[in-house]
Amino acid sequence: MSMPVRKAVMPVAGLGTRFLPATKATPKEMLPVVDKPAIQYVVEEAVEAGINDVLFVTGRAKYGLEDHFDRLPFLEQALEAKGDHDRLRQVREVADLADVHYVRQGEPLGLGHAVLMAAMHVGNEPFAVLLGDDIIDRRNPVLTSMMNVRARHGGSVLCLMEVDPSQIHMYGCAAVEPTGDEGVVKVTDLVEKPDAATAPSNYAVIGRYVLDARVFTELEQTRPGRGGEIQLTDALRKLAVEVPPGEGGGVVGVVFKGRRYDTGDKLSYLQAVVQIAADRDDLGPRFRRWLRETVDSWPS
Ligand code: G1P
């Protein structure tokens, strides 16, 4: 029996330079998508997959994020005094959503380094990594599928998405072989952000991982790679290519075909806001009507 996945690690130490000046004083993970910060969708996704222990790997100036997942007595008292029970419930629910922990990544040495910061908290059990920039549509619970795949295949599980070859230089890229298990591929090689000309495939690694604790041993030995950063992709390559399955090696990928938004990218962020607003029961009907009328009024 494989051990259950109980803990999620969320690296959130990035500076959010793609969204300046909005992110000068506000963590990029706190940018609102309709009426919730982007990171709340990610925490909710982990909780819906049955994981309620969340470790944020933070950096400087992330107080807004920490406050968001904490109780806020003066706000609660003000809402209570006004009799605004609905908002009071929402505010309290965020604080109670998960059992939240923090560790600071003193220096921004890369995603691999951020994940290594979680070693002490995670210990010797499989765990999930969710990157805060990616919002996955809740109708496609890929994290749950990945946890089921880990139970069947062992090792580590990546989330792979086929992208246009012109986009592959923005992602980790996996060479794959079929497994015989529908929608699951064996990862035979990994390269961080390759050029289109040398990429082994158009399978991009997106920001959801279910990892064997053996990755920590590999990360400790991983030297700076692409961009001078300690890359998670390089440690995962070792697990895929060098470490035997009996010792925590072996990497498979779940091929994701659902909707995913990169809220670190301006166009994709706008798409997330529009799609999530359009899907909402409260706002959706009026918003969709307005959107249709507005789009129709644009010159083609
Ligand atoms: C990171 C990983 C990359 C992965 C991507 C997914 O890159 O290093 O392998 O494809 O996340 O979003 P980043 O976007 O942090 O540069």
pLDDT tens-digit profile of 176-228? 999 999 999 999 999 999 999 999 999 999 999 999 999 999 999 999 999 99
- In this structure, is residue 180 part of a structural domain? yes
pLDDT score for 16:
83
Give CA–CA dist 168/300, Å, rounded: 31
Give the single-character DSSP code of 278.
Answer: H
Task: Name 69's bridge partners.
Answer: none
Nearest-CA neighbor of 223 among 207, 237, 208? 237
Domains identified in the chain, total number: 1
**Residue 61 pLDDT greater than 80, yes or no:** no
pLDDT score for 60:
80
- In this structure, is residue 289 part of a structural domain? no
- In this structure, is residue 298 part of a structural domain? no
Is 3 in contact with 150 (CB distance < 8 Å)?
no
Beta-carbon contacts of residue 48 (< 8 Å; ≥ 6 apart): 138, 141, 144
pLDDT bracket for residue 5 (50, 70, 90): very high
pLDDT digits (tens, 9 = 90+) for 21-47: 999 989 999 999 999 999 999 999 999
| pTM of the complete model | 0.95
- In this structure, is residue 281 part of a structural domain? no
Is 56 close to ligand 1, i.e. is its CB under 6 Å away? no
Q: Whose CA is nearest to atom 11 of ligand 1?
A: 207
- In this structure, is residue 161 part of a structural domain? yes
**Residue 1 pLDDT greater than 70, yes or no:** no
Classify residue 253 by burial, with Cβ atoms within 10 Å: 0-12, 13-18, 19+: buried
- In this structure, is residue 177 part of a structural domain? yes
- In this structure, is residue 64 part of a structural domain? yes
Domain, as residue range, for 239 = 7-264
Q: What are phi and psi of 217, to 5 degrees?
A: -60, -40
Is 199 close to ligand 1, i.e. is its CB under 6 Å away? no
Alpha carbon of 196 to ligand 1 centroid (Å): 16
Is 192 close to ligand 1, i.e. is its CB under 6 Å away? yes
pLDDT score for 177:
96
Number of alpha carbons in the 13 Å side-chain half-sphere of residue 196:
5
- In this structure, is residue 139 part of a structural domain? yes
Is 112 close to ligand 1, i.e. is its CB under 6 Å away? no
Give DSSP secondary structure letters for 1-56: -PPP--EEEEE-----GGGTTTTSSS-GGGSEETTEEHHHHHHHHHHHTT--EEEE
Classify residue 195 by burial, with Cβ atoms within 10 Å: 0-12, 13-18, 19+: exposed
Whole-angstrom distance between the N-terminal and C-terminal Cα of the chain?
58
What is the per-residue burial (b if ≥16 Cβ within 10 Å, else e) of 29-50? bbbebbebbbbbbbbbbbeebe
Is 54 close to ligand 1, i.e. is its CB under 6 Å away? no
How far from chain centre, in Å, is Cα 130?
Answer: 3
Is 200 in contact with 154 (CB distance < 8 Å)?
no
To test the pocket of ligand 1, the residue of 12, 19, 131 to mutate (highest count of ligand atoms within 8 Å of its CB) is 131
Give CA–CA dist 281/287, Å, rounded: 10
Query: Which CATH number covers residue 32?
Result: 3.90.550.10
To test the pocket of ligand 1, the residue of 170, 203, 237, 256 to mutate (highest count of ligand atoms within 8 Å of its CB) is 170
